[in-house]
Amino acid sequence: MALLHTENLSKKYGKGEAEVTALDGVSISVEKGEFLSIMGASGSGKSTLLNLLGGLDNPTGGKVFYHGENIFDMDDEALSRFRLKTIGFIFQSYNLIPELTVRENILLPVEIAKEKPDEKKLAEISEILGLSERLTHLPEQLSGGQQQRVAIARALIHQPEILLCDEPTGNLDQKSGENVIQLLTMLNREYGITILMITHDAKIAEQTSRTIEISDGKIIKDMGI
């Protein structure tokens, strides 16, 4: 059984003449441990697909299965738990809270869940991402690459099974972007985290185990390496 599976997934926005089809009957399967890149022009439906897979938005039609269970059959509490525990989200904009330290930003999901911080896990993640000496810094005191690593650490603090990354290198220079991709590749290979990543960069896509291409809300290519 696939880890994630979509069945005729569709999403429309607006009504009547203003209606726009963002996703049009997409069916894909993602196995545990895959590193999948998603490519396509702006407006092709990439981010819509990622948001539906993570339960951030509701589909107009179709289903998203996680271990065989349709996530949109879950009640609000179960869906919130799925997003918090199973999925880690990483975006192009780092979405760090400027008034909070690196440590506080990383632990934000733990605070939201009203749980006690796992100091050992925090130390491990900080070490892996090279943030151990930055935990008391504010975001404005960090480079763009460091801020993105904080965002990755925040996504990892609950040890998610799946990382959904929307253009994680989009705001970074080439070297910082390469470092982020190396980190994601390491997390995939050494920790078995399943990663789905939107990218416009074909060279980055070549480093993943599989690439799908979306156009006008439909998958037009599905390429494994």
pLDDT score of 48: 95
The answer to whether 150 and 105 have CB atoms below 8 angstroms apart is yes
Distance of alpha carbon 74 from alpha carbon 5, whole angstroms:
16
What would the DSSP string read from start to end of 179-222? HHHHHHHHHHHHH--EEEEE-S-HHHHTTSSEEEEEETTEEEEE
pLDDT score of 90: 93
Written as six digits, the tokens of 199 are 């990218």
Helical H segments across 29-143, by residue range: 46-53, 76-85, 102-106, 108-112, 119-128
Listed as own residue / partner, the contacts of 141-147 with beta carbons closer than 8 Å and 24 or more positions apart are 142/102, 143/176, 144/94, 144/171, 144/172, 144/173, 144/176, 145/172, 145/173, 145/175, 145/176, 145/177, 145/179, 145/180, 147/94, 147/96
**DSSP label of 34:** -
pLDDT tens for each residue of the chain, 225 residues long: 789 999 999 999 998 888 999 999 999 999 999 999 999 998 899 999 999 999 999 999 999 999 999 999 999 999 999 998 899 999 888 899 999 999 999 999 999 888 999 999 999 999 999 999 999 999 999 999 999 999 999 999 999 999 999 999 888 888 888 999 999 999 999 999 999 999 988 999 999 999 999 999 999 999 875
pLDDT score of 137: 97
Beta bridge partners of 186: none
The answer to whether 50 and 164 have CB atoms below 8 angstroms apart is yes
- Residues 6 or more apart in contact with residue 9 via CB below 8 angstroms: 23, 25, 26, 27, 49, 52, 59, 61, 62, 63, 64
Q: Return the residue matching tokens 């799946």.
A: 162
pLDDT score of 212: 96
